[in-house]
Structure 1
Amino acid sequence: MAGVFDNPVLPYFAFYATMVVLKTMAMSFVTTFHRRTKGVFANPEDVGIAPGKGKIATDESVERVRRCHLNDLENVIPFVLVGLLYTASGPSLSSALLHFRIFTGARIFHTIAYLFALPQPSRGLSFLVGYLATLSMAYNVLSSAKY
């Protein structure tokens, strides 16, 4: 009987899932960078990081990064969870790679579109493409389920 680590799709899923998780994690540092350079913080204890110029406030560039990060969290976590189930359901390698690459590319483009304020519908379409890739994997999991 073949083990879970004999699954030819798993290393590819691990690669693409790690890529989007690391991208999501990197957004924390982008937020910190924007907060430090703008001197705006969310908590009183953080104001001491930038003595003399720090204040509790909001800034559009900080909020834009935070919204992008939140959108990543809302999409990357379902991708990882559904992707694990999808990988375990035995998809063909070519189909799996197509799903993983589409999602990863869509999320990277979504971040670029969000951070550089590219005109709509670029951000909306990239969100939709990634979302549909996850839905497609979920459909495949459900249609291959033995219930």
Structure 2
Amino acid sequence: MQITIALDNPLTQTYMVHAALLAIKLLALSPLAAMTWVNKGIFDNPDIVRRAYLSELKNLAPFWIVGALYVTTNPPTSLGVTLFRLYSIARLVVILGYATKPLPVFFTDLALIGSYFITCYMSVWVVYFYRKAL
């Protein structure tokens, strides 16, 4: 079995765009987390931004790795695109819930759980797809 990743594949492009958007969001949080330590007056609770930043670090790294592996399994394009979009939206909702509190906790928790299960689904699919290598 030979697997190739075509850069003109819509699934590959969607993964790359969403991985980059999530990286930009993480990079935007970095100075905010650093500023909260220097100037405690930026947010009511500076620890919130730091926790949001750490949450993103813990959740994005597995997504980037598993997402790239998932693309190699050649899943249905519509499913893959939907998963990448939902994951990005979920992580945005989580950060909005952490940092600005405009959302009820229920939505933030639902987004956190949703992003977790998307990564789990893709991980299990990758293991299933490459099960002969076990």
| Bin for the TM-score computed over the shorter chain | 0.7 to 0.9
CA distance in 1, matches of 2:123, 2:8: 18
1:35-93 Cα distance to aligned partner (Å, 9 max, x none): 444269xxxxxxxxxxxxxxxxxx86221000001110111100000001000111111
Distance change >3 Å, CA 7–CA 90, structure 1 → 2:
farther
| Residue equivalent to 1:128 | 113
How far did residue 123 of structure 1 move?
1.8
The alignment partner of 1:38 has SS state of coil
The amino acid of 2:85's aligned partner reads R
| 1:87 alignment partner AA | V
Query: Corresponding residue for 1:66?
Result: 50
Provide the identity percentage.
Answer: 25
The CA RMSD over aligned residues, in Å, is 2.2
Q: In structure 2, what is the Cα distance between the partners aligned to 1:87 and 1:2? A: 10
Output the CA distance in 2 between the equivalents of 1:6 and 1:84. Answer: 12
1:11 is matched with: 13
Residue 26 to residue 138, structure 1, CA distance change in 2 (3 Å): same
- Could you tell me which residue of structure 2 aligns to residue 119 of structure 1? 104
What is the TM-score normalised by the length of structure 1? 0.78
Structure index of larger Rg: 1
1:73, 1:60 → 2: CA distance?
Answer: 22
Kept in 1, the 8 Å contact 2:4–2:72? The answer is no
Residue 105 in structure 1 maps to residue 89 in structure 2: yes
Runs ≥4 in structure 1, deviation > 4 angstroms? none
Q: Corresponding residue for 1:141?
A: 126
Unpaired runs of 5+ residues, structure 2, are: none
Amino acid at match of 2:55: N
After superposition, the Cα gap between the structure-2 partners of 1:30 and 1:146, relative to the gap in structure 1 and judged at 3 Å, is same
The gaps in structure 1 that reach 5 residues or longer are: 41-58
TM-score (norm 2): 0.84
